[in-house]
Amino acid sequence: MKFNSVRGTKDICPPEIELWQYLEKTAVELLQDYGFSEIRTPIFEESGLFNRSIGEDTDIVEKEMYTFADKKGRSLTLRPEGTAGVVRAAIENNLLAQGNLTKLYYLGPMFRYERPQAGRYRQFYQIGAESIGSSSYWRDVEIILWCVEFFSRIGLSGIKVYINSVGCPECRPGYREVLQKFLQENTTQLCADCQRRMVRNPLRVLDCKVETCRQVVSRMPAIQNYLCQSCRDNFQDIQQALQKENITFTVDKFLVRGLDYYTQVVFEIKSENLGAQDAVAAGGRYDKLVKELGGPDMPAVGFALGMERVSEVLKKQRAGALMETWVDIYFALLGKQAQQESFNFIRDLRQSGLKVEACLEDKSLKNQMRQADQGKAKLTVIIGEEEIRKGIAMVRDMQTKEQKEIKLNDLVSFLKELKLK
Ligand code: ATP
Ligand code: MG
């Protein structure tokens, strides 16, 4: 009997996992530098939480959620995104206080029943963050800047920032009407989903991926001309701030997000080095969601980035430098006695924080030296029968190829003093 991973999921194995660990470590450090604290929420929630926050007419809620009944018949859903759970948890645990800013980040798997393809999985990993409690547009800028800074820190080039404003409850109804009227005139070119969306939630048509719908969208009236004064000012302010901070961006007047809770500025970051699924991060402001989920009336802004896509581009750009397995010291051992003598040394060195690997499997010296090379060992310690007899070890510098004889009694202290870390 042989089992395979479920369609749309994948294993992240060594050496790729080293890349992931590097990405996570870099992201977490940078998030903490920006004042975000981690929050870990459950992978499943009550289905109602997502229906309510993401919106009934979105692709996610309509067809992508992993929803199931538990043994008591409660409807639960594997989280398709992070924000709803974070906001639910922040309210439930009283993390939000009027007048205070709460900055939270999360990382972990998300689940969406989508058609699997390059860069699109059914279980995928996101790193994301939320700033809850401020309406300052500098918080939007801070989030976008974090993303730009992160991509630059990991050495990812070819990154582009797109922004748009999706308005607020003041001005969106007006635009909605204009949109509805336009769509009604073009109904025949819309897919079945969009014909329904057109009536219930016409803004969703902007996010449709069907080609004929995309063509209709390209001729659609842009939201910019229908924004209220305060959304217009906010959009201007953000653009000026981004310019001032030297963050290059493009206004994409048809950019909307696949979730209903966004208000005002939304953004997306794309990589030039990915195929069709080129969005590596996305986010925006969601000033009504906290209240909508039963919390205080608090504005908020956040983002999420897709780990698979980031790792995919990074692999193309600089995998070699990041995916090596580093070993400080490799022990090449010949014979039972050498293994016996060395096991203790290895234990001692590992306790002192050095990365140590050894061959404990009776292989030829040639084979063992190849292992040492592959592990990029800085030093190899060679102990064979001859060395045991003499009470010494041969220590080889893998870079200069110089070899030294060291007494077995002195070996551990000698290696520790080299400060290989
Ligand atoms: P897309 O337009 O690519 O479907 P989205 O609008 O659904 O993205 P968000 O919900 O905003 O994406 O999620 C933020 C990021 O998470 C995306 O920019 C992408 O990098 C990643 N992401 C989203 N869905 C998937 C998926 N099915 N597989 C892998 N990564 C994903
Ligand atoms: Mg999507």
pLDDT in tens, 316-325: 887 666 656 6
Identify the DSSP state of 418.
T
Q: What is the pLDDT of residues 203-252, one digit of tens each?
A: 889 888 889 999 999 999 999 999 999 999 999 999 999 999 999 999 99
Q: Relative to the CA of 305, which ligand 1 atom is closest?
A: 15
Q: What is the CA radius of gyration of the chain?
A: 28
- Give the whole-angstrom CA distance, residue 387 versus residue 82: 58
- Atom 22, ligand 1: residue with shortest CA distance: 306
Query: Whose C-alpha lies nearest to ligand 1, atom 9?
Result: 282
Residue 15, preceding peptide bond in cis (omega within 30° of 0): yes
Residue nearest ligand 1's atom 21 by CA = 306
In DSSP terms, which residues pair with 77 in a beta bridge?
45, 67
Identity (one letter) of the amino acid at 259? L
Residue with CA closest to ligand 1 atom 28? 120
Q: Which ligand has the shortest distance to the CA of 147?
A: 1
CA of 300 to the centre of ligand 2 (A): 21
Whose alpha carbon is nearest atom 29 of ligand 1? 120
Residue keyed to tokens 């859903």: 77
The span from the CA of 223 to the CA of 233, in Å, is 14
Region 31-42: what's the mean pLDDT? 98
Find tokens 């860069």 and name the residue: 119
- The stretch 373-384 carries a mean pLDDT of 92
Under 8 Å between Cβ of 292 and 52: yes
Higher-confidence position of 112 and 98: 112
Predicted pLDDT of residue 420: 80
Ligand 1 interacting residues, C-beta cut-off 6 A: 81, 112, 114, 119-121, 124, 126, 257-258, 277, 279-282, 304-306, 308-309
CA distance 311 to 134: 32
CA of 114 to the centre of ligand 2 (A): 8
CA 125 / ligand 2 centre spacing (Å): 13
Catalogue all structural domains in the chain, each as residue range(s) with its CATH number: 16-171+227-320 (3.30.930.10), 325-416 (3.40.50.800)
**Looking at ligand 1, which atom is closest to the CA of residue 81?**
10
The residue assigned the tokens 């920032």 is 161
Return the pLDDT at 276: 83
SS3 11: coil
